[in-house]
Amino acid sequence: MIDIPLVDLRAQHEQVADEVAEGWARVLKNTAFIGGPQVAEFEAEFAAYQEVPHCVGVGNGTDAIELALRALEIGPGDEVVLPANTFIATAEAVVRAGATPALVDCVAATGLIDPTLIADALTPRTKAIIPVHLYGQAAPVEQLHTFGLPIIEDAAQAQGARRFDKPVGGLGDIAATSFYPGKNLGAYGDGGAVLTTSDTLATTVRLLREHGSPRKYEHTVLGFNSRLDTLQAVVLSAKLRHLEAWNTQRRAAADRYSSLLSDVPGVVLPEVLEGNLPVWHLYVVRVADRDRVLKSLQEAGIGAGIHYPTPVHLTGAFDCLGHTVGDFPVSEAIAGEILSLPLFPEITPAQQERVVEALAEAVR
């Protein structure tokens, strides 16, 4: 039995339960389940929070990446650079748009894309770069602007993170985020959003998410059915008012882990890239014999996890790219060592001390 979960969504829900119930009651009374006023209200609130002019709510984070690609007119014959160390959705969205992922390796200390390797991945067909703000800290986007290509931020794990005091979501040309329930800002189902400073890109994404329709029964382009539900917008607005406090609690918990684990041999701690203010969506350490350590933690009631056990290029769905073991050695090495420890805003010092004791015992 797991006594300390990897994520505790129940504790978070209790803080917004009354507000969500009241908001849902209004939606149910008005029956505006698709495109209700609460969607536009949340879009405006989240855009202001992320300090960008535009937020377009969509069905999920994967759709958000694909819609961003399509808004940039990226498709068949094009290539998009992205890290091998990411969730499959980043690469999946590129393929769904008709383009081809061009993978690069990551930096071991952070898991983030290695900007020194990007130049070698560029070809005349390269049309964009997708840096992933992994585990809750920003990729070094400013170093990617030198290549003169559109930058699509994958900000699914980094709502509220900042780089050199600028929030993610506005560091590139366009950004995608996910409101999957376990995210720092999570819905009660699927949801996502596209963020941008460009009026033109925002207009295009809004068109594409609504069947390519600028108005009812007029369809100027082929689009999608990818909209943020009104009920989810209510949840997200309620949670957004707590997000800064929750992220502060996550930072305090991450600092506590780093302090408690500083003298534990055999545990490599995560590093924060200079200039970053992370939001610690995940606290990921590295250990030898990871699978045995994970099993030991789970047997001790600790809900640890792995993000992610297989790099994109070794995933069966991407055999078509023709990669093999050894092509991205850093991503491959850390994939066998990474271990996500329980982390959520409400985690207590006592819970963290128990996690650390179990981990120290497991790595002996």
Domain boundary among 240, 258, 276: 240
pTM of the full predicted structure? 0.97
**Amino acid (one-letter) located at 297:** L
Task: Note whether 196 and 250 are same-domain residues.
Answer: no
Task: Note whether 30 and 105 are same-domain residues.
Answer: yes
Task: Note whether 197 and 341 are same-domain residues.
Answer: no
- Please give the tally of structural domains in the chain: 2
Say yes or no to pLDDT of 344 above 80.
Answer: yes
β-sheet bridge partners, residue 340: 284, 305
Task: Note whether 49 and 191 are same-domain residues.
Answer: yes
What SS3 class is residue 26?
Answer: helix
> What does the pLDDT look like over 141-197, one tens digit per residue?
999 999 999 999 999 999 999 999 999 999 999 999 999 999 999 999 999 999 999
Task: Note whether 61 and 185 are same-domain residues.
Answer: yes
> What does the pLDDT look like over 9-60, one tens digit per residue?
999 999 999 999 999 999 999 999 999 999 999 999 999 999 999 999 999 9
What mean pLDDT value characterizes the chain? 97
Domain boundary among 240, 269, 300: 240
Domain boundary among 221, 240, 259: 240
> What does the pLDDT look like over 245-282, one tens digit per residue?
999 999 999 999 999 999 999 999 999 999 999 999 99
In a domain, 288, yes or no: yes
Which of these, 192, 196, 222, lies nearest to 210 by C-alpha position? 222
- What secondary structure letter does DSSP report for 302? B
Place of tokens 């992320």: 50
Domain that holds residue 170: 9-240
Q: pLDDT over 70 for what percent of the chain?
A: 100
**CATH, residue 354:** 3.90.1150.10
In a domain, 121, yes or no: yes
Which of these, 153, 149, 139, lies nearest to 274 by C-alpha position? 139
Average pLDDT over residues 205-212: 98
In a domain, 217, yes or no: yes
Task: Note whether 279 and 204 are same-domain residues.
Answer: no
- Give the ranges where the chain is alpha helix by DSSP (H): 9-30, 37-50, 61-71, 88-96, 118-121, 141-144, 199-209, 230-240, 243-261, 290-299, 329-335, 349-362
| Cβ pair 137, 110 in contact under 8 A | yes
Task: Note whether 234 and 257 are same-domain residues.
Answer: no
In a domain, 1, yes or no: no
